[in-house]
Amino acid sequence: MPNQWLDVKEIARPALVRLIENLVFPNLIYKDYSSQFVTGKGAKIQVKKPVVLNASEFDANTGTSAQAIDDSQSVEVTLDTIATVDVEVGALEGAVSFDDVNRIFIEPAAVALAQKINSDGLELYRDIPYIGGDAGTTPDDLTDFAAAGLVLDQNKVPVVPRNALWDPVANSKFKTIPAVVNAEKSGTTDALRRGSIGTIFNLDNYMSQAVKKHTAGTLAVGGGTNPKIYPNAAVTAGATQMVLAVSGGSSPTLTGTLVAGDILTVKGKTYTITEGATAATNTITAKVYPALPALATTDEVTLTASHMANLAFNPNAFAFVTRPLVAPQGVQSYVTSYNGVSLRVVRGYDMKYKKEMLSMDVLYGYKTMYPELACRYLG
């Protein structure tokens, strides 16, 4: 393959465009990007949280009361992932034009990077304790859009913008809803032709193959008579953990595990497990978000089964954080950035295996900023 077709600048620029086109989740949430170069994986940076203001009713007697704009709130984000695609330059020797390079490397590499970046971001569902839908039942009706919106409404999430990401099975069910199938009656057939479910009840809806299935922990009760799970001791309001025990008849048992992302329900409120735990001597420590109310040893705790973790959210619920990687010395490299995403392409030589390599990579991290601005919709 002639060297001119392996100029890394000519590869990096179109590759970044293809990458951004294939991203889903990062394009729907808050992005934090700067031109500050970072040496590599593991860098920790401070990211400012989106500003939140409160509205109040004007009182003619007291006049206005200015509120401070707090732009100082920040969270620490670890840039903990480098998504990379690496090939031997020899694999591209059959390419004789830019179109060939695009077909056998740029396009598939950009798609592969986008798939990984999307997949990693949707792991944030574990941070969301606010739920709708039923575990094990695929959403398939207009009422599901309304129910997801209701959870957001109850948490006072701004009406606009709101996005939703649905798994492929739910998406296919939605596209058979008569109101969607008959989209041409509204004067446009764009949604129908593109197989999209569009905007419904203020939710801009998208499908992602990377929506996660949450496999619940194995925590289970046994023995005794109708055994149930309760706090082992009274819980003080504001606590973020409680010890769970089992009660019911003689010799009930509590065994198994809790995993991050499990959902517990107590006194009608739902909580997400923030750290895995294993039961021992019929008790288990549950670390949860958000903080608990005051609980008695008679308040029953229930667990939600395994489920698909569809998401409905305001963009400020999550942040996609990326920084440009340092261009290494002594090799041909190029770093390009656009629309909050930075991509590096490097052409180098592997001394150990005596191979010329071409690498395309992205450094990034994700962070849940405001969990209350999102809903986990079960399927």
Of 228, 273, 275, nearest in space to 254 by CA: 228
In the predicted model, residues of the chain with pLDDT beneath 70 are 1-6, 51-72, 91-98, 181-196
Q: In 243-254, which positions are buried (b, 16+ CB within 10 angstroms) versus exposed (e)?
A: ebbbbeeeebeb
Of 297, 237, 301, nearest in space to 270 by CA: 301
Contact present, 262 and 215 (Cβ < 8 Å): no
φ and ψ of 29, to 5 deg:
-125, 175
**What is the pLDDT at residue 46?**
83
Say whether domain 220-305 belongs to CATH 1.10.10: no
- What value does the mean pLDDT of the chain take? 88
**What is the pLDDT at residue 1?**
39
**What is the pLDDT at residue 68?**
61
**What is the pLDDT at residue 301?**
98
**What is the pLDDT at residue 192?**
46
**What is the pLDDT at residue 3?**
42
**What is the pLDDT at residue 14?**
93
CATH for 130-213+310-314 is 3.30.2320
The residue extents of the domains of the chain are 3-50+76-124+317-367, 130-213+310-314, 220-305
